[in-house]
Each structure stands twice: as structure tokens, then as C-alpha cells.
Amino acid sequence: MSNQADLLTRVSAQEGVGREIHDPATGAVIGFAPVHTVADLDSAVAAARAAQPAWAALGHAKRIELLNAVADKIDANAEELAQLLSREQGKPLNGPNARFEVGACSVWLRATAATVLETETVVADEANPSQLFYKALGVVGAIGPWNWPLMISIWQIAPSLRMGNTVVVKPSEFTPLSVLALLEVMNEVLPADVLVGVSGDREVGARLASHPDIDKIMFTGSTATGRAIIRSSADNLARLTLELGGNDAGIVLPGTDPAAIAENLFWGAFINTGQTCAALKRLYVHDSIYEQVIEELAGIAAKMPMGNGLDENNVLGPLQNKKQFDIVSDLVEDARKRGGRIVTGGSPATELGELFYPITLVADLKDGDPLVDEEQFGPALPIIKYTDVEDAIASANRLEAGLGASVWSADPAAAREVAVRIESGTVWINQHGTIHPMAPFGGVKGSGYGLEFGVEGLKSVSIPQVITG
């Protein structure tokens, strides 16, 4: 078992050589990220390419055994990883945060290891049958975000390794140390160069996306960056899985009990202090229960402690970086000027630290207001009143984003009737943002394409091959 100091020492560069990484809760320097170059990336890809045939040749049974052993190793280092994650990303240890995220890494590894991808008989002709097989692609490039850096990295790594690919991981510039620490732990089990991390800037990420020896890119991040990756892939014809920006709508139908749904609504919007791609980001509530829903949400917000993530009592943390803090602050201020009613929050929580912004509920906004139309990716939720359900559905579908959505109702049949009409990759009923390792997940429209998780996730990192005869 490692400890946090050991992990930091093993993955950090020296002061003056690496780039300072700060704790968003305190501003303190926690370590120095290696600054790898394009040449370093080229070497990493070459090493992963060389290691891939032997990794694929191990076969499914041996790779499954190793993935389960990796999960055990993560569990043995879980507290150290969670502490480092909390310090670097800002999320608290408790609640659906740092310890939860590290635990999800081992859960996803084990679930992926247990997922079976069967050969399919597609033409059952005794004289001339056709069967569909799935084989390793080669080298997968995994480009991750800063909001759930460990868990989303595992979403990219686990299926890729399971199917016999090797992986080159490029973590976000904001959260490189925790991801490099995770890879360090995993590589205590895995063969050399099967899983390689490269910590660099946008130039390194761009090179990974366009690299001629990369067979697949998995990316979670903004729609703008996703479009750039698509353009890069035109030259190397790399396959793509893109989980891009979201602006998830929730629709609360008439007849719903506000008290019964309030806690799920709250965490649907404010998990990870709102810094989640598939968080609830705009809430449409029927006018018959509009004020009651607002009141229930405000009551829950008042009871949720925010502060330094290392404090065991807190469940909400800071914004991870100044850029995101400014986006949230500017959108809330704009909403105030447009006549939005600030129910809770509404101004920086400077008494907690530079990057803290309190849970902010903004009522009486409308479609077209920036806080409604633009992804805030933080602890500010616009609440919009509607009268006609048809109008609410039209509002949910009017934006480019289509990652997730939710419908809230005491009547499951009525909720499903609305759910099937919403343009998003996932629609939840009386919950928002819940995921399962066997339930495929992905976006539509501007939220990207390709599926992750379960059998479909394994297929997405494989080459399909039909053998006939």
C-alpha cells in the first residue's frame, strides 16, 4: 500500500521544472505536474504500440484476471487517492465526491471485466454461416476532464484494456496529479507500457488526437474541443467516442409532490457542486407547484455544508478553477440584471475561499436568458415556470445539447410519455444523472456521439470482423 506523500513524490516533477498545481480550496501548492512535450507523447505512443500485440495475445481470461487485480490495488490505495483527488480537484471526501469517485473506479473495472461480448451468428446458414467477432483496435488515446478525473479516466481505460488495446492517457491540465497517481497504482499490476500517462498542454492533446499511430480517441469535454478532435481525426481516421457538453433539462409535471422529489432534484443539479456534464442545469416546473418546488430546494440547500474538501463534514466544495468560477459568477450576475429572483446564494462565498460560490437558485427566468441557454457547469440552477407540458418539451429540445434530461412525476406512465419525446441520450425518471456500468451512456446532437459502458462500450473500442463460410 502506498501513502499520499509517496504517490505525490512518484508522480510529481521537481519544483522549478514542473508546473505548480494548487488546491482550489486554499490556493496552496500541492505538487508539480510534469510538463511533457510532443516528443514525449510520440515516445509514449510508440511504447504503447510496441506493447499492444503481447497484451492482446494474453487473451480475455488473463486480461480479466489482471483488471480485477488492478481493482484490488485501487481499493488498497483508495484513501490516499481520495485525499489527493480532494486536494487537487476540490471536491469533498464525503458525499457523492472523492471517496465515492475512487470507489467507482474499482466498481467499473470489475464490472467491465465481468462483461461478456459474445460472438454473434448473424447468418444462420449451415452451408454458408456468417459470424461477427470483435477484436482489439490497437492503441487508444484517452483525453479526460477535470471534474471527475479518475472515474472518467477509468471509463475510458477499462473497456480499452479489456478488449486488448493499450492506452495513452492525457489528463486535464487542471487535475494531472491525481490521474497520474491512479495510473501509478494501476501499473503496479499491469505489464509495462500497456497504460501510459502523458501530462502536457493543449499542444500535446492536439497531437494525441491527430497522431497517426492512434486507432481510437475517447474524449470527455467541451463541444468546441470535440469538434476540433473530429477535424483532426480526418487525417488519421481514428475512431471516436465523444462525450461533450450538456445543458440537461428537467421537467416537473403537474401533480408531483415537491417534497418527495426535492432531494433527488438537488443532487441531480449540484453533485460535485454542479461541475458534472450530465447534471441538471435548467429546471422547468409546472406553475401549479412552482413555488413549492423552489421552497423545498431552498430548504435542502440551506442544510448542505460547503467548504474545504478535507473537512469530513462538508459535501460541497469550491469551483475547481478561476475560469469556471468566473463563468458561474458572470451568468448569475447577468440573470440578476435580467430580473431573475435570487432565492439562495447569488454572490461569491469569499469567507470560505477565493473559488467558493454558494448554491444559487434563480427563479423567474425564461428561455433565451444566458443562465438558461449556456452551460453554467457550477452551483447555479435556473428555474423556469411553464403552464403547458408541450411548451416544456419544446424548451427541453430547443438547445444544441442532448446529453441527459429528466422527467419528474408521481405517474410513471405520464413521465414515460414525455421522456420518449426528449432529444437526449439518456432520460431519467424521478432521478437525474444516475449511471450504471451496464447501461449504455452517450449524447446526441452537440453532446457528441458513441456509447460507453456495458456491452456497447466494449464494442466501441473494438474492430468488428465478419467471417463467412
Cell output for 406: 429528466
Contact 444, 287 (CB under 8 A): no
Contact 392, 386 (CB under 8 A): yes
Q: 386: left (phi > 0), else alpha (psi -120 to 50), else beta?
A: beta
243 assigned to active site: yes
Residues 254 and 110: their CA atoms lie apart, in Å, by 41
Q: 16: left (phi > 0), else alpha (psi -120 to 50), else beta?
A: left
Residues 403 and 383: their CA atoms lie apart, in Å, by 19
Question: 3-state DSSP call for residue 41?
Answer: helix
Question: 3-state DSSP call for residue 334?
Answer: helix
Residues forming a β-bridge with 197: 169
Residues 98 and 93: their CA atoms lie apart, in Å, by 5
Cβ-based burial of 121 (10 A; exposed 0-12, middle 13-18, buried ≥19) = exposed
Cell output for 457: 462500450
105 assigned to active site: no
Contact 19, 199 (CB under 8 A): no
Task: Pick the catalytic residue from 88, 277, 296, 375.
Answer: 277
Task: Pick the catalytic residue from 243, 375, 452, 456.
Answer: 243
Contact 430, 257 (CB under 8 A): no
Return all residues near 113 (Cβ < 8 A) that are at least 6 apart. 63, 64, 67, 68, 71, 158, 162
Query: CB count, 10 Å around CB of 116?
Result: 8
Contact 359, 346 (CB under 8 A): no
Contact 237, 209 (CB under 8 A): no
Catalytic residues: 243, 277
